[in-house]
Amino acid sequence: MKLADPTVESGKETLSNFNAKIRKFLHKEGSEWNLVKCVKVRISLISKAFSVLHWLRQAFLPSHVLLSYFTLSPDIMITVKDTLRATVRVSFDGRVSKQFHGPRAQERFDNEVRILRHLEEKACPFVPRLLKTDASTLTMVTTNCGSRVHHLDAKRCAELFAELEDFGVRHEDPDIRNVTYRQQDGRFCLIDFEFAALTEGETNDEQQPATQF
């Protein structure tokens, strides 16, 4: 029976501990750091690990083993919003998780899921795409539509929400905080549809949005 090389085992343990510290740091700081800052921290920490990688290569650890220890899981999510109504987290692979809680959480969850499915059917290009839902935890996962916009001309903002109505949806909360900018295609987008209402093909009861709190 071949005995494990103590140098290799020590190297694996060092890498495992290092990666655990990175994960702990990101989880701890996630509520206070935005996604951009956390990505910069990740790059900085990995850069500082180059010397450790060089040492471990001397222990003849395979490259794929080394890389696996330094790859942060895409399932790690950074909290970017935590309010009375919802908690929003963003992952490194571009997914956004929104968990509803607080007053009328079930109603708001059901409404936003319904609105996003409708907009996807209408091929609306400037809203998030619904990836999955979990009714048991009132959680939905969508694509990322970029970063929030802090300065936007009032006329342009109004035009965005008016354009949404061309797809049969009235937002009901036409505020700049619900506008984002997607750098990939240079497009302004709209988010947060928990109070939105359909404007076509629905009965009056179905169109009634959740009351805002």
Domain co-membership, 190 together with 108: yes
- What pTM was computed for the model? 0.62
Output the CA torsion 82→86→92→93 (10° steps). Answer: -170
Q: Is residue 109 part of a domain?
A: yes
Mark whether 51 and 146 lie in a shared domain.
no
Would the CA dihedral through 125, 131, 135, 139 be positive or negative? negative
Question: Tens digit of pLDDT for each residue in 92-107?
Answer: 888 999 999 999 999 9
Name the residue with tokens 């290569």.
Answer: 57
Do residue 115 and residue 197 come from a single domain?
yes
Decide which of 17, 50, 70 is a domain's last residue. 70
Last residue of a domain, one of 52, 70, 88: 70
Domain span at residue 181 reads 77-207
Residues 26, 81: one domain? no
DSSP 191: -
* pLDDT tens for each residue of the chain, 213 residues long: 545 555 545 555 655 666 666 666 555 544 444 555 555 555 666 655 555 555 555 454 455 444 544 454 556 788 889 999 999 999 888 899 999 999 999 999 999 999 999 999 999 999 999 999 999 999 999 999 999 998 999 999 999 999 999 999 999 999 999 999 999 999 999 999 999 999 976 544 444 444 443
Residue at which a domain ends, from 15, 39, 70: 70
Residues 138 and 201 in one domain: yes
Asked if 52 and 18 count as a contact pair (C-beta separation under 8 A), the reply is: yes
